[in-house]
Structure 1
């Protein structure tokens, strides 16, 4: 589908149809937002593994939106968590620990594109963003596509167009960080004589840690450090370069005969200082780039999208305060900064050298300590993320686990209730709450249930003090708690609803 024309309108324009842009498009459509996705490619990713790692929190998010079953059917569940290739097994310490998975990126994009189209997102393929102008009322996006130059007038623009973001460049946004000093090649390749017939994960003194693993039938995923920098860092990777790198590092190319995708990455790390620039937002790699060691890039992007999507929808269509959009930067920028730091450490550990070998031995021993394993697994999996929403209860700012909730005649789950991407108020036994306050009844879902005492010992968090009521944002994070044994405060609930949903002239009576 291509809707390019000389001039058109939308509430939100998304530049980029990678996983971040696609997830954002679906989230916006769930909120009733008219959205156009502009993508310079003629189609999505075809037959490329690219970013295949989907961490446990992203799996949860996809499940919240009803996509988990298809991802689980197509993907491969991971038995643990890797820190620079060093395995950790948090499930052995906490049996309820949610699992991550591996799925080639072209499959992820196909699923997300299908969902966005089903929900009514419009797409302009083979179309590039060439200029933009914004004012207090909106942003005018100049594009060039199959029908020639055109403009799209929108309330907001989101740049989800990758590490070489045109939106970031057009806004003249600084992108500070560390220049690369080391380079790796990566690709989906065909091997006539693969090691052990299936692949190999190893380490040597020439190139440090390397990986050759099965991606899909007939294809191997290759990731390997170059012993020397590439002559031309901007030139496309070739089969000859892959053969050279493999022979230099391993002494053989294992009969490399073809590739469907080849690329290179480095240990450069960059992050913009502000994710919002007026009516323009940046998400995913457009706002932060780093080594893919640890598999964090796709997951940061998906979680950026889910954080931003419901907020834009709430402001545009549901009466939320415009200041709500500032919380996108406030919440997501520190998360990416912390991930970049941890990714730097993991990238250093895969490099060759006797000192790094010794450090890996020490780190491996440290990761065997249960507390260290659970702490780092929580960060890498995204499960331990906590937004700064208060410290009066351990659940505030944290994701709400997918608990089963008993009803009068059946049962449901937290994630099923979050599927429409609407705020959720759960009454767990307080008589002071009988419904969503009238001023917000059309914008917030409500349920009365209870959580069995044993379920308050939650995976990742440990034992949590019971609650009598919980308010959960559309992205699945807890924004308000009424602890058990504490009288419900109508003022506190009102302030929470005004902050995250919007204000109303109507009086509130709880």
Structure 2
């Protein structure tokens, strides 16, 4: 007998990882009713905790969390030690890597990032998956999101005005469905989304073990003629075996003997593993949905794109999807939607995902255990020791070059808004906690205040004198924190109307 949930939701999200939960928060912030379906009963896992669960947060993610008042709730980065700390402190402290090749704080020219103000959030932080999910789940619950665990999506069909989602014997109805259910996404498969890309070159292993003779292994990341192994802490291993992803594809259990055999072959030692406590495999398969939307169904996060975890870009890419889609879908649900708004989700996020997949492939290309790759690796290593090289790679890894193609004009157009601080102590992030657009007026122009009033609360008018304005007179900021319009002199209200019409509708908010 089929059980029908009595309530019809504005949006149903498959997957209660960070991407699904953050998207749920964004929708609920706009007073949308949201149901999250998660197939696993228990959200906890040793793989989500330190050290395996450590993830690097890039600048766009940090800004997004800060703009919603969530960053202060994350504490792990204040307590855990970076896995790069062994590389030294001070100006030679390792700040990140590309294909295992480190770049260091002292080599980076931060003055290149002209619009990063002294009060900006950090360019990069460490986080833990379990804590991040816990913080987002609490916020979602506070906002009224309904979360059902142990409820896998087993089917769905679209109707003229919604989607009926099946979870075994239960059926739920929503206006929209978003698949945030990971690399093996049921929503993607059931929806028939094309998932194009490249096959893997290696099987990666992450394992916690007891090693009888740990001194036989070098600390840190080690490239060998047969692959790579990393010993970040005693007994905590990461291994890359360039087998074309063959072992991962078998789905066979990961035994102590197998990990020992792989480690011995990669390290060139006769190291002995006494006990295997936990292990998982992964690959560098790089695939991306050719479309992020089919009718009333969207994909976000790993459901939309997968790649090697090298460099920690996946979580940040997924959270960026959620921040971009959330306010656009909410505006559509509330019928405050300019033509083409939802199409801009794919248009803006797909190219960024494509670039990240290529970034991942490039790392694998120079990590192969063969002469041509070692030659390229050496050249890149030399480049990263230069100031220009370190700055370039840091900017890419930290997401500082993220920009949407919103037209010509001021260099900030399409970029994340700088962390302006006003004389009264307020910052731009303080003004964005409720997820609305912001019109910043640094000159107190009456015509701009009237303009914002025409949008009935969709755009918040803010005037004040910032400590640094970059000679700007006014800015229109989308709810996700990206600049839609900028003026250096007397504002052109016609240009402002044209810019606003792409993202907002006039009239009272609901």
- Residues 1:258 and 2:276 are matched in the alignment: yes
Which of 165-174 and 423-432 deviates more? 423-432
**Greater mean deviation of Cα atoms: 89-98 or 198-207:** 89-98
Which residue is equivalent to 1:224?
240
Q: Answer yes or no: is the 8 Å Cα contact 1:227–1:245 preserved in 2.
A: no
- Alignment of 1:332 with 2:332, yes or no, is no
Correspondent of 1:473 among 448, 462, 478? 478
| Pairing 1:169–2:177 present | no
Measured after TM superposition, the shift of residue 267 of structure 1 is 2.5
TM-score, scaled to structure 2: 0.87
C-alpha distance in 1 between matches for 2:32 and 2:252:
40
1:93 paired with 2:109, answer yes
Superposition deviation, residue 301 in structure 1: 0.6
Superimposed CA distance per residue, residues 267-296 of structure 1 (whole angstroms, 9 cap, x where no aligned partner)? 321111110111000001111111111211
Which residue does the alignment assign to 2:91?
A: none
User: Could you tell me how far apart the structure 1 residues matched to 2:459 and 2:109 are?
Assistant: 37
- What's the offset of the Cα at 1:90? 5.7
Q: Map Cα deviations across residues 441-499 of structure 1 (whole Å, 9 max, x no partner).
A: 3222221123345x63xxxxxxxxx211001111111111122x2x3222222233332
> What corresponds to 2:15 in structure 1?
16
Q: Secondary structure at the match of 1:154?
A: strand
What is the alpha-carbon distance in structure 2 between the residues aligned to residue 270 and residue 367 of structure 1? 28
d(CA) in 2 for partners of 1:318 and 1:428? 31
2:26 is paired with a residue whose SS is helix
What is residue 112 of structure 1 aligned with on the other side? 136
CA contact (8 A) 1:315 1:322 kept: no
In the alignment, what sits opposite 1:213?
232
Deviation of 1:7 after TM superposition, in Å, equals 4.8
The answer on 1:429 being equivalent to 2:443 is yes
Are residue 347 (structure 1) and residue 364 (structure 2) matched? yes
Aligned residue runs from structure 1 range 107-256, under 5 A: 107-144=131-168, 149-189=169-209, 191=211, 194-195=214-215, 199-207=219-227, 209-214=228-233, 220-225=236-241, 229-230=246-247, 233-250=250-267, 251-253=269-271, 255-256=273-274
Provide Cα deviations, 1:104-131, integer angstroms capped at 9, x if missing partner.
3222222222222222211111111111
Is 1:84 the counterpart of 2:84? The answer is no
Query: How many residues align structurally?
Result: 479
Question: 1:66 and 2:90 equivalent?
Answer: no
Is the 8 Å Cα contact of residues 430 and 468 (structure 1) preserved in structure 2? no
| Correspondence for 1:373 among 374, 390, 412 | 390
Name the counterpart of 2:90.
none
Once residues 395 and 199 of structure 2 are traced to their aligned partners in structure 1, the CA distance between those partners, rounded to angstroms, is 29
Match of 1:459 in 2: none
Cα offset for 1:186?
1.9
CA deviations over 1:61-118 (Å, ceiling 9, x no partner): 2222222223243555675231111122366411768331233322222222222222
SS at match of 1:230: helix
Residues 35, 122 of structure 1: 8 Å contact kept: yes
Other-structure match for 1:281: 298
Once the 2 structures are TM-superposed, how far is the Cα of residue 6 of structure 1 from its aligned partner? 4.5
Question: Does structure 2 retain, via aligned residues, the 8 Å contact 1:45–1:105?
Answer: no
Secondary structure of 2:344 counterpart: helix
Which ranges in structure 2 are unaligned for 5 or more consecutive residues?
Answer: 85-93, 112-117
2:330 pairs with 1:313:
yes
1:414 has 2:428 as partner:
yes
Distance 1:505 1:479, change over 3 A: same
- Aligned counterparts of 1:166 and 1:245: Cα–Cα separation in 2: 32
Contact between 1:188 and 1:222, CA under 8 Å: does it hold in 2? no
Alpha carbons of structure 1 residues 315 and 227: separation in structure 2 relative to 1, 3 Å: closer
SS of the residue corresponding to residue 411 of structure 1 reads: coil
What is the root-mean-square deviation in Å for CA atoms of aligned residues? Answer: 2.6
Q: Does 1:448 align with 2:455?
A: no
- 8 Å contact kept, 1:319–1:502: yes
Equivalents in 1 of 2:443, 2:65: separation in Å? 29
Which whole-Å CA distance do the structure 2 matches of 1:213 and 1:436 have between them? Answer: 55
Offset, 1:51: 6.2
CA–CA distance in structure 1, aligned partners of residues 284 and 217 of structure 2? 31
Deviation string, structure 1 residues 310-365 (Cα, Å, up to 9, x no partner): 11112212612362111100000000001111110011222222332221110011
Q: Structure 1 residues 402 and 340 mapped into 2: Cα distance closer, same or farther (>3 Å)?
A: same
| Aligned counterparts of 2:181 and 2:324: Cα–Cα separation in 1 | 17
Indicate if the aligned counterparts of 1:276 and 1:282 stay in contact, CA closer than 8 A. Answer: yes
Which segment is superposed worse, 151-160 or 242-251? Answer: 242-251
Q: Do the aligned partners of 1:80 and 1:88 also contact (CA within 8 Å) in 2?
A: yes
